[in-house]
Amino acid sequence: MEPIISIQGLGKTYAGGFTALNNVDLQIKRGEIFALLGPNGAGKTTLISIVCGIVNASHGKVTVNGYDIQRNYRKARNEIGLVPQEISTDAFETVWAAVKFSRGLFGKAPNPAYLEKILRQLSLWEKKDNKIITLSGGMKRRLMIAKALSHEPNVLFLDEPTAGVDVELRQDMWEMVRGLQDSGVTIILTTHYIEEAEEMADRVGVINHGELVLVEEKNILMQKMGEKELSLNLPEPLQKIPDALADLPLSLSGDGSQLVYRFDVKSEDTGIAEFLRRLNAVNIEFRDLHTRESSLEEIFVNLVNGARREREELLSKETQE
Ligand SMILES: Nc1ncnc2c1ncn2[C@@H]1O[C@H](COP(=O)(O)OP(=O)(O)O)[C@@H](O)[C@H]1O
Ligand SMILES: [Mg+2]
């Protein structure tokens, strides 16, 4: 099946000369929840803003459901609902007036039955005649989603949907997003919370310094995230990993006084017993040992750095050739 969004060679250099996106290629599959994960300033909002036609790209091509965002802007934009990072609504409007107005902006014929459906789906129907100013924070967020869906888009962008939101609200939001996916909407959310990507996404793209460093099925990413470390303090530092242990996932740290063994928490056999036995066989002693779960933050940083190293190696190879 054709991707619903296709992004090729996308680049953005802002007027001041700052490059916020560099050569991004990305395809979004129909019906998936895709999480664009990256630290603040990575370029997530810039990417979304380009796809939604709010910011002009410096390079590259984007199509939404087959429509080029430049040549066929209106049609492309019609496919998309956007919930921006900042909540902004007219406080004195009613909920109903707000969604009706949003739909009208897209030149769509009125469809009260559809608007009722989305307000019900977002648990806002009881509030339809209330002024926005009277809504709780969570309700305001849901209203932003209702407005974004008012013109029946196929794709919904959620820019940091749960930034600064408490845990309970976050759970609500996640449930709602799943409901939207079930109703056939493709969802792209940006987040700097790894847990959010982990909880929600079918696929995850990691973006850093304007570069998409990794796109992966969530489940595969999770395996990589399930790593733990067993760290041994050695009375006599090692210069290098002994050849006899070279096949094991080992590294040295602390000037060689710590031997670190990585293992997968979820695998049936962690290999620790075998590791300790082989250590004994090569007469390496240790003082004490402790395990440590690699934190999600750390894995994220590792992923980003690892990908950068790979790319740099590739580049230096290319320039050598
Ligand atoms: N209008 C702008 N002019 C210049 N620089 C900008 C503009 N908008 C964003 N930037 C810069 O581009 C980078 C990416 O920003 P943004 O896309 O908002 O990142 P994110 O959403 O991942 O936090 C940041 O360094 C930001 O300061
Ligand atoms: Mg942002």
Q: What pLDDT score does 105 carry?
A: 93
pLDDT digits (tens, 9 = 90+) for 266-282: 777 888 889 999 999 99
Please tell me the distance between residue 170's alpha carbon and the centre of ligand 1 in angstroms: 25
Does residue 205 have a pLDDT over 90? yes
- CB of 78 closer than 6 A to ligand 1? no
Q: Please tell me the number of the ligand nearest to residue 163's CA.
A: 2
Residue 43 in contact with ligand 1 by CB distance below 6 A: yes
Q: Round to whole Å and give the CA distance between 262 and 248.
A: 9
**Which tens digit of pLDDT belongs to each residue from 161-198?**
888 777 777 888 888 899 999 999 999 999 988 778 88
Strand order in the sheet with 5-13: 19-28, 5-13, 59-64, 67-68
Of the candidates 199, 235, 197, 243, the residue with the CA atom closest to the CA atom of residue 216: 197
CA distances from 32 to 4, 151, 156, 198 (A): 10, 20, 11, 14
- Long-range CB contact pairs, 10-14, < 8 A, 24+: 10/47, 10/50, 10/57, 10/59, 10/60, 10/61, 10/62, 11/57, 11/58, 11/59, 11/60, 12/43, 12/46, 12/50, 12/55, 12/57, 12/58, 12/59, 12/210, 13/58
Q: Using a 6 Å cutoff on CB, does residue 18 contact ligand 1?
A: yes
pLDDT of residue 176: 87
Percent of the chain surpassing pLDDT 70: 91
| pLDDT of 251 strictly over 80 | yes
- What distance in Å separates the CA atoms of residue 299 and residue 183, rounded to the nearest whole number? 33
> 201 vs 166, which has greater pLDDT?
201
Give residue 262's pLDDT. 87
Nearest atom in ligand 1 to 85's CA: 21
Give the count of beta carbons closer than 10 Å to the beta carbon of residue 49.
Answer: 20
Burial letters 6-29, b for 16+ CB under 10 A, else e:
bbeebbbeeeeeeebbbebebebe
pLDDT of residue 305: 67
What separation in Å is there between the alpha carbon of 127 and the centre of ligand 2?
A: 29
pLDDT tens digits, 81-115: 999 988 777 888 999 999 999 999 999 999 999 99
- What is the rounded average pLDDT of the residues 72-81? 96
Confidence of residue 297 (pLDDT cuts 50, 70, 90): low
Q: What is the pLDDT of residue 298?
A: 61
Q: Where are the alpha helices (DSSP H) in 9-57?
A: 44-51
Residue 310 above 70 pLDDT? Answer: no
Q: pLDDT band at residue 71, thresholds of 50, 70 and 90? A: very high
Residue whose CA is at the smallest distance from ligand 1 atom 11: 20
